[in-house]
Amino acid sequence: MFIWDPMYYLYALPALLLGLWAQMRIKIAYSQAQQRPAPLSGAAAARHILDSAGIQNVEIEAIPGNLTDHYDARAKVLRLSQEVYESRTLAAVGIAAHESGHAIQDARAYAPLTMRNAFVPTANIGSSMGMLLFFLGMMLHQNSLLMTIGIVLFSCVVVFQLINLPVEFNASNRAKAQLVQLGIINAEELVYVKKVLNAAALTYVAATLQAIMTLLYLIMRSQGRRN
């Protein structure tokens, strides 16, 4: 129902514009960093970073897809897209280092990461059921109970996104520091890595802003219906 409400787009517009800008910056930064060679492949850089941090129990695997890179805390596996895994570019080592940063967070019991991982099931429920219950409540003669439950569930998505921000920023900061300290890249090359990671961070900011603005929209619609 909200798809046809112009007011929703008014609320969503700031996050949408920020997200589009972030995606544009990622494409430009990633393309530039891809053209700059690195001494190690993404997989080798990740292995070097993990070994230097005393983390030998994390495996590194290549997976299909483009920018599908992630760290699986449950399986203790760092999964890199094929291009990042194999390429010897600043883009590849930057992304691999970022994911290695998550593995280091996990090994060091970084509190925000622990909180984020614990919150994933609740956030998934909130994402899938929050909006559904809210608009179901609206259709059922403004059932305030269902609408309130929907808002509370979607609030879990906002909380998750807020917790996720420091996790992602910290992983990027760890990545940049490790790449230079271990001599994988120099200060001049770090500029290109920073552009990629900073642009990627903006996508998380945009996702958080979108969740917040959507929650505010739901609250506004709820108050309007009750009035």
Task: Point out the residues that are catalytic.
Answer: 99
DSSP state of 50: H
Looking at the DSSP bridge assignments, the partners of residue 62 are 80
Nearest to 35 by CA among 207, 192, 215, 221: 192
Note the helical H segments in the chain: 6-34, 42-52, 82-86, 90-107, 111-139, 144-181, 187-226
Q: What's the rounded Cα separation, in Å, for the pair 101 and 157? A: 24
- What number of CA atoms fall less than 13 Å from residue 124's CA on the CB side? 6
∠ CA 217-223-225, rounded to 5°: 100
∠ CA 152-154-158, rounded to 5°: 110
Q: What's the rounded Cα separation, in Å, for the pair 29 and 22? A: 10
Phi, psi of 60 (to 5 degrees): -120, 125
Distance from the first to the final alpha carbon of the chain: 19
